[in-house]
Structure 1
Amino acid sequence: MVCWVGLTGGIGSGKSQAAAEFVRLGVPVIDADAVSRSLTADSGAALPEIRKALGNQLFDAEGRLKRAALRDMVFRRPQAKQILENIMHPLILAEIRQRQSVVGQVYGVVDIPLLIERPVFFGLTERILVVDVSETTQVGRVYSRSGLETEEIKRIMASQARRRDRLLAADDVLSNEGTLAELAGKVRRLHHYYLALFSCFTGANP
């Protein structure tokens, strides 16, 4: 049995960098966003249902999904967002479970940015790891990498789970207020902790 850690964190928390550090340590990481993109790529499994439920206007003459048009529709029509989630979530769950089934290591990581906001994904994991920073740090990091205005950044943050709710849901918290080297060290310590912890569950040698 492979045990799975759900990795999550708000925008600007450094979650993607933490995932990259796990990869560097040889830990299998499944990226839920990448799974979602693959399902809506050319000939993706989600396209027929999206076309059927939301309309031909979301597709170009070659049958490719017009992502900007889809984002605009979801933003303007909450019911369209619900329809899209009802299509995507079962497909994402099934694809992640399929990928999990072929992993043979002690543990792996599922990188799910909106894990706290989407409890339907809780069943994919044994533990939840939250990468945590202050809201001030979030704003500063997103501004420095994207140039978005502060109000826009705060609007995005407001659409995500509150920091308090993420921390309440966490089994483990990785504070990421420091340098990349410090983050790498913390991930390395978590890696050894998870190897020991999950080896006890599975009977495997760390």
Structure 2
Amino acid sequence: MTFIVGLTGGIGCGKSSVSQFFAELGIDIIDTDVIARKLTQPDGQAIGLIRDSFGDAFLTANGSLDREKMRNQVFSDSHARHKLEKILHPLILKEVIEQTEQTRSPYIVIVVPLLFETDDYDDIIHRSLVVDCEESMQISRTMARSQLSEQQVKAIMAQQISRQTRLQKTDDIITNNRDIDFLKTQVTQLHNKYLIICKNKSDTVNLH
């Protein structure tokens, strides 16, 4: 089985930049946020289930998920959040597994923002990687990127596990508190490390 790295980190830490650098090194990336957006587009697999559970009020005029309205709902109502997760998580996991079977790179990076908040990926991920930065940076970056208020960003962060817990749980860490070159260097170093792990795994398999 292909070696799989689970990439995670708090909002605004730089997961997208890190996954892009891995992609530039020839590694196949599976992004669960991209899958979730596909599932919640008009006629996406999740739309019928969302309509049944939440009603048409949470869909836009073109039949896609009203992301802003749903975001406000799930961050103020934990029952609604769990209901949405029960719809989306199994569909996302199914698509992830299907995509892993089509990849061709030496290893795969799966981007899962809530990697440590769920046990969905325990059976398929071999190693975890956290992109980390100071919480003040998370807030300022997210506000600049998505026009959310500081209060909204903090509400999203409150739904995720703490930075300290994330760092304790992970196998590898990339620190994103300096310039882009520093970030790229860390990705390259880990890429080389993962290639060695893949080679060692392959050698072990061949010995048997």
Q: When the two structures are superposed, what TM-score results if normalisation uses the length of structure 2?
A: 0.87
Per-residue CA deviation, residues 15-43 of structure 1 (Å, 9 max, x unaligned), is 21111100111100001000011111111
What does residue 186 of structure 1 align with?
186
Per-residue CA deviation, residues 38-68 of structure 1 (Å, 9 max, x unaligned), is 1111111111211222223333565443333
**Aligned letter for 2:86?**
N
Shift of 1:12: 2.2
**Aligned letter for 2:186?**
K
Q: Is the 8 A contact 1:143 1:150 kept in 2?
A: yes
What does residue 57 of structure 1 align with?
57
% identical equivalent positions = 38
- Match of 1:177, SS? coil
What does residue 94 of structure 2 align with?
94
**Residues 1-206 of structure 1: matches in 2 within 5 Å?**
1-59=1-59, 63-146=63-146, 148-203=148-203
Shift of 1:161: 1.4
CA 1:131–1:42 in 2, change beyond 3 Å: closer, same or farther? same
Residues in 1 aligned to 2:2 and 2:153: alpha-carbon distance in whole angstroms:
37
Q: Is the 8 A contact 1:106 1:202 kept in 2?
A: no
- Match of 2:99, SS? helix
Residues in 2 aligned to 1:83 and 1:155: alpha-carbon distance in whole angstroms:
18
Shift of 1:79: 1.8
- Match of 2:57, SS? helix
Across the aligned residues of Structure 1 and Structure 2, the Cα RMSD in angstroms comes to 2.2
CA 1:57–1:187 in 2, change beyond 3 Å: closer, same or farther? same
- Match of 2:108, SS? strand
Q: When the two structures are superposed, what TM-score results if normalisation uses the length of structure 1?
A: 0.88
- Match of 2:121, SS? helix
What runs of 5+ residues in structure 2 fail to find an aligned partner? none
Residues in 2 aligned to 1:100 and 1:168: alpha-carbon distance in whole angstroms:
27
- Match of 1:120, SS? coil
- Match of 2:89, SS? helix
- Match of 1:119, SS? coil
Per-residue CA deviation, residues 173-201 of structure 1 (Å, 9 max, x unaligned), is 11222210111111011101100112211
CA 1:109–1:48 in 2, change beyond 3 Å: closer, same or farther? same
CA 1:43–1:12 in 2, change beyond 3 Å: closer, same or farther? same
Shift of 1:75: 3.5
Per-residue CA deviation, residues 121-170 of structure 1 (Å, 9 max, x unaligned), is 33331100011112233234334545655444333322221111111110
Shift of 1:71: 2.9
